């Protein structure tokens, strides 16, 4: 057993367990914390697949920014109403089960019946390589340098805008 | 990636604005009097960029590996954006004190939005279009609600943000479909292989969704619902900026993207779409504007109608019509910025005095303001020999050339309807006694902006060929 396999088993176990824990917790804050753990283990799986950039984005964007948003919403919302929603309206629960079953069947089909071709085409090999931070960085600083610079100004303008709209005491 | 260092010189307009933004931030941090320095700094920056763009008009190149175009059409658009923004800044200097937002940040946001527009007009890659659009829109969302204490400004900012984000979602979805079917974000690739892609239903779907997103941005019926509230609630000078240069930027993108469609030998697939929305916008904008009492709201509906007139050019889709759109956008920028600057002079601290009654008897209070307002109203109505007339003339002629006579007739009819509410303002100013008794304090800076805009409207109206020759020389 090589290290990669051991890491995969550990990360996959964590991901599976935390996702089950997440949907079974009655307390939404606890569920959110388990979701963060799930995101982290998924990021580890991406790293094993040589997709460094997606792994980093997974941690920064999903585990960082989006989860913080989730927690803020949970704090602001009244969790009682959400509880009532599920008890009173059976239709929603049925609908949720239907969608998850659909996604599950789709994923299961892809894993067991989708036949990945033995040999990769050059395009596919290239796209697998593109996951590394080095390739993305190289592209950003050569072909996409102008959009990259504009993105910098976009962030600057957004920061100034947020300051103007949200600073407590202005002048 | 630049082929050589010469490319940086060609990109100078964008670089001037970019460095200017950074310097403005530094001035804002270090200086206590930044709100007095920044307007003049911005105006200098905008004028330098406008002059540089016009001097560079014949050096038309695509730089940085097909990312951005300089010279030619983008140069004319840069001229519109920069002169428009300079006039808006000039008329904002005293208005901001009155409006209660005497901040330096206002000017930095205006500069950033202009950079976004310049990126949009020069874009030769869909990624660039998106970045420029976001840079412009985010600045506009903030500028619309820059006075946090005013409820109407909050409402305008929130509505603009939500519907603008919705439209951006459409645009991104369209881009995703276009990229998915073509495997490239380059517009050159799009126009070269358009006849191949145009048989692909998913590609056409992506293009249509992309156009729907931009129909939000240019404010055409049925994607116009945000316009009246946003234009009414925002600061008046900001409305002048959004309604003219923002519209021009969105049109520049539509022209660049649709050149692929117009240039191909295949059937012009977007004609039914643009003919429909342009006819709807012209009729709806002109009719609803009649019942408006608030001048800002009236100009918002008139702006919908004008977007409709310009969209005639997109439906016609020949070189002459594109030149007509660019001429119309230039004329419209000066007419509308001037009109909004006059409203900002008459307006008082509480957002009132913007309705028709406040303009009653303006002639006796300030003859020059009344004369200028009359000039802009005549120009917007499209009465010769003012610039607005030739804008309409060029797009209507191009419609007839492209066998869209019915659309030109609808356009002429709605122009006739629109004359009613424009001339009503003039009648009220000159022939009615003033209802409210108040004194207007005329800021000399705002008045200078109004006079400069009026001069442009007159010059482009009396000798339209000067501008038209420049525009047609860059369109091939």
Please, which pLDDT band fits residue B227 given cuts at 50, 70 and 90? very high
Are residues A3 and A69 both part of a single domain? yes
Instruction: Assess if residue B315 is contained within a domain.
Output: yes
A154 touches chain B (CB under 8 A): yes
Q: Is residue B137 in some structural domain?
A: no
Contact flag A153-B125 (C-beta cutoff 8 Å): no
Helical H runs in A49-144? 52-57, 67-76, 79-88, 90-112, 122-129, 133-141
Does A168 score more than 70 pLDDT? no
Domain for residue B419, yes or no?
yes
Neighbouring CB atoms inside 10 A of B61's CB total 14
Q: Does residue B102 contact residue B96 with C-beta atoms inside 8 Å?
A: yes
pLDDT band at B138 (very low <50, low <70, confident <90, very high): very high
Local confidence band at A123 (pLDDT 50, 70, 90 cut-offs) = low
Two tokens, residue B375: 């000039």
The whole-angstrom separation of Cα B221 and Cα B264 is: 28
With bands split at pLDDT 50, 70 and 90, how would you rate the model's confidence at B50? very high
Q: For residue B184, list chain A residues with Cβ-Cβ distance below 8 A.
A: none
**Residue B250 located in a structural domain:** no
- Residue B438 tokens read as 């108040």
Q: Which two tokens stand for residue B425?
A: 């303002």
Return the structure tokens found at A136.
Answer: 């993305």
Domain assignment of residue A122, yes or no: no
Q: Which of A19-28, A109-118, B408-417 has the lowest mean pLDDT?
A: A109-118
Looking at chain B, the whole-number percentage of residues with pLDDT higher than 90 is: 57
Comparing CB atoms, the residue among B68, B134, B148 nearest residue A154 is B134
Task: Indicate the helix (H) or strand (E) that contains B255.
Answer: helix B247-263
Domain annotation covers residue A163:
yes
CA–CA distance, B469 with B297 (Å, rounded to integer): 35
Tell me the two tokens of residue A65. Answer: 């920014």
Domain that holds residue B346: 270-476
Q: Give A170's contacts in chain B (Cβ within 8 Å).
A: 103, 148
A154-165 mean pLDDT: 92
Residue from the list A149, A157, A163 with its beta carbon closest to the beta carbon of B112: A157
Instruction: Say which of A149, A156, A170 has its CB closest to residue B103.
Output: A170
How many angstroms from the chain centroid is the CA of residue B144? 15
- Do residues B249 and B80 make contact, with C-beta atoms less than 8 angstroms apart? no
Can you give the residue range of the structural domain that contains A14? 1-79
Q: What percent of chain B has pLDDT over 70?
A: 98
CATH number of the domain that residue A59 is part of: 1.20.120.1200
Residue B236 has pLDDT above 70, yes or no: yes
Q: Is residue A96 part of a domain?
A: no
Q: Is residue B95 part of a domain?
A: no
Q: How many interface pairs between A and B have CB atoms less than 8 angstroms apart?
A: 76
How far is the alpha carbon of A165 from chain B, nearest alpha carbon, in Å?
7
Domain-located, residue B46: no
Q: Report the C-alpha gap between B78 and B51 in whole angstroms.
A: 10
Structural contact between residues B91 and B450, judged by C-beta atoms closer than 8 angstroms: yes
Mutation target to probe the B interface, by most B beta carbons within 10 A, among A146, A159, A163, A167 is A146
Q: A3 and A70 share a domain?
A: yes
- Do B107 and B38 form a contact (C-beta atoms < 8 A)? yes
The band of B316, judged by pLDDT with boundaries at 50, 70 and 90, is confident
Q: Which of the pair, B248 or B190, is modelled with greater confidence?
A: B248
Q: Are B118 and B17 contacting, i.e. CB atoms less than 8 angstroms apart?
A: yes
Q: Please state the φ and ψ torsions of residue B63, each to the nearest 5 degrees.
A: -110, 170
- Lowest mean pLDDT, pick from A80-84, B198-202, B464-468: A80-84
CB A130 within 8 A of CB A136: yes
Cα-based distances in Å from B227 to A13, B170, B418:
53, 18, 18
Query: Based on the domain organization, do A73 and A4 belong to the same domain?
Result: yes
**What is the tally of structural domains in chain A?**
2
Question: Which of A141, A155, A160 to mutate to probe the B interface, most B CBs <10 Å?
Answer: A160
pLDDT given for residue B24 in this prediction: 94
Q: Is A91 part of any domain? A: no
Q: What is the pLDDT of residues B250-287, one digit of tens each?
A: 999 999 888 877 776 666 788 889 999 999 999 999 99
Chain-chain contact of B139 with A157 (C-beta, under 8 angstroms): yes
> Residues B189-212: what's their mean pLDDT?
87
pLDDT bracket for residue A69 (50, 70, 90): confident
Q: Residue A170's pLDDT band (boundaries 50, 70, 90)?
A: low
Count Cβ atoms below 10 Å from residue A28 Cβ, excluding itself.
18
Total structural domains within chain B: 1
Instruction: With a cut of 80, say whether residue B402 has pLDDT above it.
Output: yes
- Mean pLDDT over each residue of chain B, to the nearest integer: 89
B68 forms beta bridges with: B63, B123
Pairwise CB contact (< 8 Å): A156 & B112: yes
Q: How far apart are CA B352 and CA A146, in angstroms?
A: 44
Residue B377 included in any domain: yes
Range name among A66-70, B18-22, B142-146, B448-452 with the lowest pLDDT average:
A66-70
User: Which residues of chain B are at the A interface, by a Cβ-Cβ cutoff of 8 Å?
Assistant: 1, 18, 21, 25, 64-65, 67-68, 102-103, 105, 108-109, 112-113, 115-116, 119, 125, 127-128, 131-132, 134-135, 138-139, 141-142, 145-146, 148, 157
Which pLDDT band holds residue B325 (cuts at 50, 70, 90)?
very high
B330 band by pLDDT with thresholds 50, 70 and 90? very high
Rounded to 5°, the CA angle B47-B52-B56 comes to 150
Q: How far apart are CA A91 and CA A107, in angstroms?
A: 25
According to DSSP, residue A26 is labeled S
The percentage of chain A sitting over the pLDDT mark of 70, rounded to a whole number, equals 80
What is the ipTM for the molecules in this complex?
A: 0.91
Closest CB to A161: pick one of B18, B127, B139.
B139
C-beta of residue B256 within 8 angstroms of C-beta of residue B217: no
Instruction: Please judge whether B127 and A161 are an interchain contact, meaning their C-beta atoms are less than 8 angstroms apart.
Output: no
Q: Which range is least confidently modeled, A18-32, A57-71, A110-124, B44-58?
A: A110-124
Does A88 touch chain B if contact means CB atoms closer than 8 Å?
no
Phi, psi of B125 (to 5 degrees): -145, 140
Note whether B59 and B71 are within 8 A (CB): yes
Residue A54 pLDDT grade (very low, low, confident, very high; cuts 50, 70, 90): confident
Q: What is the pLDDT of residue B1?
A: 55
Cα separation of B30 and B347, whole Å?
33
How does pLDDT run across B79-133, given as a tens digit for each residue? 999 999 999 999 999 898 888 888 888 999 999 999 999 999 999 999 999 999 9
| Predicted pLDDT of residue A92 | 79
**Tens digits of residue pLDDT in B358-401:** 888 888 888 999 999 999 999 999 888 888 899 999 999 999 98
């Amino acid at each position: 057993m090589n290290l990669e396999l051991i890491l995969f088993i550990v990360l996959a176990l964590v991901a599976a367990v935390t996702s089950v824990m997440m949907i079974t917790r009655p307390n939404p804050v606890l569920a959110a914390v388990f979701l963060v753990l799930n995101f982290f283990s998924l990021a580890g799986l991406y790293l094993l697949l040589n997709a460094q950039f997606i792994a980093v984005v997974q941690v920064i964007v999903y585990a960082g920014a989006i989860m913080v948003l989730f927690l803020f919403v949970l704090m602001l919302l009244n969790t009682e109403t959400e509880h009532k929603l599920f008890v009173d309206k059976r239709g929603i629960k049925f609908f949720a089960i239907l969608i998850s079953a659909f996604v599950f069947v789709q994923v299961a089909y892809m894993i067991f019946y989708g036949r990945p071709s033995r040999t990769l085409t050059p395009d596919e090999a290239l796209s697998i390589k593109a996951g590394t931070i080095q390739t993305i960085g190289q592209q950003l600083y050569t072909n996409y340098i102008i959009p990259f610079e504009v993105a910098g100004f976009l962030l600057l303008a957004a920061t100034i805008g947020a300051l103007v709209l949200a600073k407590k005491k202005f002048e | 990636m630049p082929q050589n260092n010469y490319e940086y010189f060609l990109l100078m307009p964008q670089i001037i604005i970019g460095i200017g933004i950074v310097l403005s931030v530094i001035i804002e941090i270090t200086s206590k009097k930044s709100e007095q320095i920044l307007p003049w700094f911005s105006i200098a920056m905008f004028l330098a960029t406008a002059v540089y763009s016009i001097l560079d008009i014949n050096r038309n190149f695509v730089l940085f590996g097909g990312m951005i175009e300089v010279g030619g059409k983008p140069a004319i658009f840069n001229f519109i954006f920069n002169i428009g923004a300079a006039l808006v800044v000039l008329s904002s200097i005293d208005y901001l004190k009155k409006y209660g937002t005497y901040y330096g940040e206002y000017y930095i946001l205006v500069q950033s939005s202009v950079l976004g527009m310049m990126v949009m007009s020069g874009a030769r890659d869909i990624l660039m279009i998106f970045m420029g659009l976001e840079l412009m829109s985010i600045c506009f969302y903030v500028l619309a609600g820059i006075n946090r204490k005013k409820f109407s400004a909050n409402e305008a900012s929130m509505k603009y943000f939500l519907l603008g984000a919705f439209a951006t979602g459409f645009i991104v979805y369209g881009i995703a479909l276009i990229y998915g079917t073509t495997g490239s974000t380059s517009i050159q690739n799009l126009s070269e292989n358009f006849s191949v892609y145009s048989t692909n239903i998913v590609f056409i779907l992506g293009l249509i969704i992309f156009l729907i997103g931009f129909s939000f941005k240019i404010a055409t019926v049925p994607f116009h619902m945000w316009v009246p509230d946003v234009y009414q609630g925002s600061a008046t000078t900001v409305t002048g900026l959004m309604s003219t240069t923002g519209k021009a930027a969105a049109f520049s993108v539509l022209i660049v993207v649709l050149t692929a469609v117009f240039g191909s030998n295949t059937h012009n697939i977007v004609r039914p779409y643009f003919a429909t929305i342009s006819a709807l916008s012209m009729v709806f904008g002109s009719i609803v504007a009649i019942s408006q009492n608030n001048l800002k709201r009236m100009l918002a509906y008139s702006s919908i109608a004008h977007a409709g007139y310009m969209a005639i050019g997109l439906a016609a889709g020949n070189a002459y019509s594109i030149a007509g759109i660019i001429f119309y956008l230039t004329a419209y920028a000066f007419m509308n910025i001037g009109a909004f600057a006059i409203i900002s002079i008459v307006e008082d601290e509480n957002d009132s005095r913007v309705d028709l009654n406040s303009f009653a008897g303006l002639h006796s209070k300030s003859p020059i303001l009344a004369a200028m307002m009359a000039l802009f109203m005549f120009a917007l109505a499209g009465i010769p020999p003012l610039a607005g007339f030739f804008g309409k003339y060029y797009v209507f002629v191009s419609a007839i050339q492209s066998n869209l006579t019915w659309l030109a007739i609808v356009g002429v009819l709605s122009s006739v309807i629109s004359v009613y509410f424009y001339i009503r303002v003039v009648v009220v100013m000159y022939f009615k006694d003033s209802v409210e008794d108040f004194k207007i304090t005329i800021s000399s800076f705002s008045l200078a902006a109004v006079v400069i805009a009026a001069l442009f409207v007159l010059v482009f109206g009396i000798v339209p060929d000067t501008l038209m020759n420049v525009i047609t020389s860059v369109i091939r």
